[in-house]
Chains A and B, each alone.
Chain A
């Protein structure tokens, strides 16, 4: 584990060195492909100036808003789906219809309905997280062992108290993997969507940062923006979610078997 991590770090350093050497040896135009050192410097400057953190915070704020609403809706749909037959069929139909539809494809409609602004972004994010999260949560609910449901009923739980007390924690491995998939979709979607929608209000997001710097030919900052997208993705997926898994699913000895 540790040596594998060290080797991977070595690969990254190796790639950076190759990149630097290539751009310098072949005198590649920094407007097209700036050297690694220039990108890292630009990244450092934009980070220190609070520019990148501001844009990143804006992206994350919109993304979290969308994810919160999306998971709320997913929970509502799945609760309906496990309590009524029609709800189950509704959920299955909706997820099979909308799951294959890329969120980006909804942007023209979002523009039409909500105009240029945060609501359009939130709408697109909701679409990208709602279906995978609903599908996973539903699978989780359905696979809760009957014994556990009966234990809950035996304690006198029913309705939403049974859902909150027994089904939600018992389905947590599936819900967590739904959150992971939802995050992965949402993070990719928000960056793309921000390039189309541009600035909403006073502060734009990372996608806008990248787009705007391309427009001004600050190619080093374009790369710095991409680097930020990668770094935040890695941090969330490998630190936050790993940590959450260790604290919950692993500690409880539970796992989602897909």
Chain B
């Protein structure tokens, strides 16, 4: 579905920024479903690593509703119904009226994920969204994301520095190498969601071998 033709000078985050439309590729071109990517747009929604991606002046609910109204031009009623569904999906019904500064890091990332999913993008871009979380929360968020992915089957481009995370979440793993940045290998991962199985461990070893 997404065909990145990145030549060189780009590593993981730059790849994601290019797909998002924040950064033009140094050479080559970016296409999504046959149409060139020229600028940022709500068909490719990014979940950032930074916790400050929520609008601090809006509540949890307000953040999702606002995104739907601006990016999808929904009416207030439609946006509210949609927002309620996705805030529920990430388990934050009890916090709909909380402001972002009242939430923990993991909850903020859940809101960001809910907001992105609600926009129903062609592609969800995740820029190390769990990197700033503690290990336990990170683990729980990975499992939740797997559940959401199985329920929605969205195309997801997830950038991570963690091999474990890649093998747990990715059905295809692009191993990138820096300077000049290029795709070293594209692996099919049959063990998605089952990292602890022998198959999963085999993929982990394969990626480790590629990176060492």
- Nearest CB of chain B from residue A242's CB, rounded to whole Å: 18
B100 within 8 A of A: yes
B41, A156: Cβ atoms under 8 Å?
yes
Contacts A155-B70, A156-B70, A156-B71; A150 near B55 (Cβ below 8 A): no
Residue of A with least CB distance to B112? A151
B100, A155: Cβ atoms under 8 Å?
no
B53, A172: Cβ atoms under 8 Å?
no
A252, B56: Cβ atoms under 8 Å?
yes
A148, B55: Cβ atoms under 8 Å?
yes
A142 within 8 A of B: no
Q: How far is the CA of A247 from the CA of B104 in the complex (A)?
A: 22
Residues on A with C-beta less than 8 A from B55 are 148, 151, 166, 169-170
Chain B interface residue count: which class? Answer: 20 to 34
| Interface of chain B residues 42 through 77 with chain A (CB within 8 A) | 42, 44-46, 48, 50, 52-53, 55-57, 67, 70-71
Residues on A with C-beta less than 8 A from B45 are 154
Q: How far is the CA of A161 from the CA of B73 in the complex (A)?
A: 14
Q: How far is the CA of A112 from the CA of B46 in the complex (A)?
A: 57
Residue of A with least CB distance to B40? A153
Residue of A with least CB distance to B71? A155
A157, B57: Cβ atoms under 8 Å?
no
Q: How far is the CA of A142 from the CA of B44 in the complex (A)?
A: 26
Residue of B with least CB distance to A251? B99
B102 within 8 A of A: yes
Residue of B with least CB distance to A172? B57
A156, B53: Cβ atoms under 8 Å?
no
Q: Could you give, for residues 201-224 of chain A, a 1 whenever the CB lies within 8 Å of some chain B CB and a 0 otherwise?
A: 000000000000000000000000
B101, A156: Cβ atoms under 8 Å?
no
B22 within 8 A of A: yes
B40, A154: Cβ atoms under 8 Å?
yes
B50, A154: Cβ atoms under 8 Å?
no
B101, A253: Cβ atoms under 8 Å?
yes
A150, B101: Cβ atoms under 8 Å?
no
B102, A150: Cβ atoms under 8 Å?
no
Q: Could you give, for residues 144-166 of chain A, a 1 whenever the CB lies within 8 Å of some chain B CB and a 0 otherwise?
A: 01011011011111100100011
Q: How far is the CA of A172 from the CA of B42 in the complex (A)?
A: 25
- Nearest CB of chain A from residue B74's CB, rounded to whole Å: 12
B56, A147: Cβ atoms under 8 Å?
no
Residue of B with least CB distance to A150? B22
B56, A154: Cβ atoms under 8 Å?
no
B20 within 8 A of A: yes
- Nearest CB of chain A from residue B104's CB, rounded to whole Å: 13
Q: How far is the CA of A150 from the CA of B46 in the complex (A)?
A: 9
Residues on B with C-beta less than 8 A from A148 are 52-53, 55
Could you show 26 A-B contacts with beta carbons less than 8 Å apart? A145-B52, A147-B48, A147-B52, A147-B53, A148-B52, A150-B48, A151-B53, A153-B21, A153-B22, A154-B41, A154-B45, A155-B42, A155-B67, A155-B70, A155-B119, A156-B41, A157-B70, A158-B39, A165-B70, A170-B56, A172-B57, A248-B57, A251-B99, A253-B56, A253-B102, A254-B57
A-B complex: 6 closest residue pairs judged by Cβ atoms: A253-B101, A155-B71, A153-B40, A147-B50, A252-B57, A169-B57
